[in-house]
Each structure stands twice: as structure tokens, then as C-alpha cells.
Structure 1
Amino acid sequence: MRVVSLVPSLTEAVAVTVPGALVGATDWCSHPADLDVVRIGGTKNPDVDAVVRLAPDLVVANEEENREPDLRALREAGIEVLVTEVRDVPGALRELDRVLRACGALARPRWLDEAEAAWEGTPAPARRTTAIVPVWRRPWMVLGRDTFAGDVLARLGVDNLYARHEERYPRIPLPELTAAAPELVVLPDEPYRFTADDGPESFAGVPCALVDGRLLTWYGPSLAAAPARLGEALRAAVS
């Protein structure tokens, strides 16, 4: 089986579960750190010709991460493309199982069982906290409706104030964000790399949680550690 992954989360999942299956991945596929495959560009602008030259049996993609014209071009070149849709934690677990089986996994990996157990064992939060979750600035963009990261936070007791917005990643001016009066601002380090010096200063007087973006937005082996580590970071910010 020869696999090309166009999604960092799926790249990590396939690499640790089906060693040797991956022959290509995007420039953004940073895990595992020692991944040695052909790089085929970004998630939004993959080099379709480079993917075709790798002659994969399967390309794994995601309906949010990747563009339909690129996926269509791969299919027209005779390559099978598996497209995932991940909007919540249960969906991520199901899609990971589907992808890994399609990539040749003979059995469900232990890390996936551990991830499922970790989320099923997450206790109901003692109190809930309202938050905004910026994912970009200049312009400011936040999590909106129907997102995987929003579901992750909701399961940890953090309610996204823009969860009912008509857009999934709306652009919201900073004055409107501050006027929403969140109890917490969650600042991941990807896709925009928020840091202690870049982000919190815009929300004076509001607790800010700087969190590992991989724990918040990746659906893969990191899912097993996400409830405990994210929960700890969120509680520390509002304590």
C-alpha cells in the first residue's frame, strides 16, 4: 500500500499505525518528527503532478483542509481519494478508524482505543466558561459553528460564544470580540502562532489560555492526551 496524506493529523495517524505506507505528505505534516517522505506542497496548494508521480494507491484528505479542485484533479488522474469529514470528537474517532483500515491497518491501534477511553472518561466539568477562540489575526478570525475544536472545548466545559454563527470561521473585528465579554480567550499556537507577547495584549482584563494547537485541532494520536493536557491549561487560565 502506497499512501499520500494531505492532512497533518492523518499523516501522523497513518505513520505511527502503518509504518512504511506513507510515500508523500504536505509541508505542514510535522509529526512524527522523523517522518521521511516526499513533500508535495501545502494542504491548500498541493503539487498534484508530484502526487501523481508518486503513484499512490490512496490519497487521504479532509473536506475542510483540502480544496475540491485538487481532489478532483487527483481522481481524474485515476487516483483513489478518501475524504474525511471531522466536526466532533466521536466523528474523529470513526474517521480515523476508517482511514487506517483503508491504509492497510490489520487491527485497530492501541492509541485509538486510548483516545476513545480518554474522552469517554472525561468527567463533566464542575462549571462552564464562555470563551472566544481566535485562530488568526490581521484580520481576526475565530471558531464559529460546527468545528472539531469547538466540540473539543465544549466537552471540557468551555462554550464558544460564536458557536451559533452562520460561518464556521468568521472574521470578527476586535471591538466586537471584546464586546462579547468572554470569560476566557483561548489562543492556540496554530494555525496562527499566538504567544504570550502576541495575542493576550488585545484582551486586557480577560484571562487568556495559550494552548497547544495540536491538542486542540489535530485528530490523531494526540487525542489521547488532549483531555488532560488541555483541561489543565484551561483550568489554570481561569483559576
Structure 2
Amino acid sequence: MSIIKDQLGREITLKSVPKRIISLVPSQTELLCELALENELVGITKFCVHPYHLKSTKTIVGGTKKVDIEKIKALNPDFILCNKEENTYDFLPELEKIAPTYFSDVISIQDSIDLILRLGSILNRRTESDNLAHKIEFKLVDFKHFIKDKPSRKTAYFIWAKPWMVAGNDTYINEMLKLNKFENIYANMSRYPKVEIEKIRYEGDPDVIILSSEPFPFKDEHAMEIGTYTNRSITVFGDGEMFSWHGSRLLLAFDYFKELHKKLESHF
């Protein structure tokens, strides 16, 4: 038996190394598979799309905000993995009655690396987690070298339309924007505020507008509508997983960011 702490500082008691895991976070489901824990994974959400085949081999227990408690109970898990941003505390008391429930809290790349190492230790995958952390750290150093001479560009990152919502401060997305020298014009606002696109010119008039691929399916008409309220913005459809998924997705994110900058350079 051991007592561990999650990233919220909550104490959790484990009787042994978990062997039946439920993940309620898509990026962390992908991470568990990267850590060679696919066999231990028994339940996932309907949004856990990587690796793709999991949806046909694992039990779907609901979404990230609403879960089927009875399905979770029937799977007899010994570890449930949640995230402060993705999940709601409303069902935490019910989950804790079923199994030890671990909450991650990831705002930065360092938080992500910390989570990888913690899970590696908790789930007996230290070698895999150490290797993954080293790969991410290597790619991060390489990307910082790539980006250091790039110009800063004022940016707005949209996650929803009507109501229009953006990524503000205190978010992992904002940290990814800063890493890319995308100066978030809404960094003075917290979390995911609603904004009026009619005022975007006066609130920063961004050089770049990023329409995220998730959670809202932006289309050309949304790009055109926002564009009517700006002076000179370049609008791109961004891969939301690269900007908002922590964990092993970072292995792909840095290369994606390089290609995004090359694409933008052709417009400026």
C-alpha cells in the first residue's frame, strides 16, 4: 500500500500497482498507450480518438463532462485518471467510491513532463516515462532554437463560434502560443472568455487568427466573418490537438509548429 499525491495535491491511497485503469481524458489515454499501458486500460471516453482502434476494443464510459457511473463501476477499475480542465468535480465523489481517482493539472510543458514522470512511477513504467520525457525535452530545446529569431505576431486563438470564445490566460493553449511567439491579444482575460468579434480590431487587431479544429468545427464562413472586422489578419485553421493536448502529443506538436510557421511566413 502506498500514498501518493496527484497534481492538485490530493492524497490518494493505492493498495498496489493499478492494473485496471479508466481514463477520462483523451490526451492522457494516448499517453497511457505511449507508456505501454494499453492492456491495463479498460475504459475511455467517446472523445478518446488516439490510438484510433481503442474505440472498438475498450468500453466507452461517456464523455469528459458526463460519465456513466454504473458502466465505470461494472469495469471494476483500480485507478481512474482525470484532469482539472477536461473533467468536472461534480462526479468526483462518486468516482472516489469506486476507485482511487487521480487529477492532473497541466498548464505548461513542464507540468506535462511532470505528469508523465509521475504516472511512470505510479504505474510501474519508469523506463518508458523517462524515455518519453527525454524525447520531449530534446524536441523542446530544438524548437526553441528554431523559434528564437522568428518575429512575434499578435494572435487570437478561437475555440468556439456564436458565442465566440477564445483561449485566454491560465491555459495550456496560451502557453503554447507564447512558446510560438504568438502574442495572445486576449491574454489579459482568464481561461476561455466570450468575446465580441466586432471589437477585435480595437482589442488588438491580430496579425494571425487561429481557428482551432476542436472543440468547434470551424468552417470558411467563420473565417470570413471574423475577417471582416480586422485590418490585416491571416486566418489559419489550426490543429487543436497540437495546441491543447499535453502528454505524448508533444512528440508531434513541435514539428507541426515548425510547419505552421513556414506556412505563415509565405503570407507576411
Query: TM-score, normalised on structure 1?
Result: 0.92
Q: Between Structure 1 and Structure 2, how many residues are aligned?
A: 236
Paired residue for 2:210, among 173, 186, 189? 186
Quote the Cα distance in structure 2 between the aligned partners of 1:80 and 1:99: 14
The answer to whether the 8 Å contact 1:24/1:54 transfers is yes
The answer to whether the 8 Å contact 2:117/2:126 transfers is no
Aligned to 2:119: 99
Code of the aligned partner of 1:134: F
Paired residue for 1:172, among 165, 180, 195? 195
Distance apart, 1:198 and its partner CA: 4.1
Would you say 1:21 and 2:40 are equivalent positions? yes
- Provide the identity percentage: 26
Aligned to 1:53: 74
Paired residue for 1:9, among 27, 38, 49? 27
For 1:199, what is the secondary structure of its paired residue?
A: helix
The answer to whether the 8 Å contact 1:118/1:225 transfers is no
RMSD between aligned residues: 1.6
Would you say 1:129 and 2:153 are equivalent positions? yes
Aligned to 2:252: 225
Segments of 5+ residues of structure 1 without an aligned counterpart are none
Q: 1:193 to 1:90 in 2, by over 3 A?
A: same
The answer to whether the 8 Å contact 1:112/1:224 transfers is no
Distance apart, 1:187 and its partner CA: 1.3
Q: 1:100 to 1:25 in 2, by over 3 A?
A: farther
Aligned to 1:213: 240
Task: Specify the structure having the higher radius of gyration (Cα).
Answer: 2
Code of the aligned partner of 1:169: Y
Quote the Cα distance in structure 1 between the aligned partners of 2:260 and 2:196: 26
More divergent stretch after superposition (138-147 vs 124-133): 124-133
Query: TM-score, normalised on structure 2?
Result: 0.83
Aligned to 2:53: 34
Would you say 1:89 and 2:113 are equivalent positions? no
Distance apart, 1:210 and its partner CA: 1.4
Quote the Cα distance in structure 2 between the aligned partners of 1:96 and 1:209: 31
Quote the Cα distance in structure 2 between the aligned partners of 1:235 and 1:141: 27
Quote the Cα distance in structure 2 between the aligned partners of 1:151 and 1:16: 23
Aligned to 2:177: 153
Code of the aligned partner of 2:124: G
Q: 1:74 to 1:5 in 2, by over 3 A?
A: same
Paired residue for 1:144, among 144, 159, 168? 168
Residues 157-176 of structure 1, C-alpha deviation per residue, up to 9 Å, x if partnerless? Answer: 111111121x2000001112
For 1:138, what is the secondary structure of its paired residue?
A: coil
For 1:202, what is the secondary structure of its paired residue?
A: helix
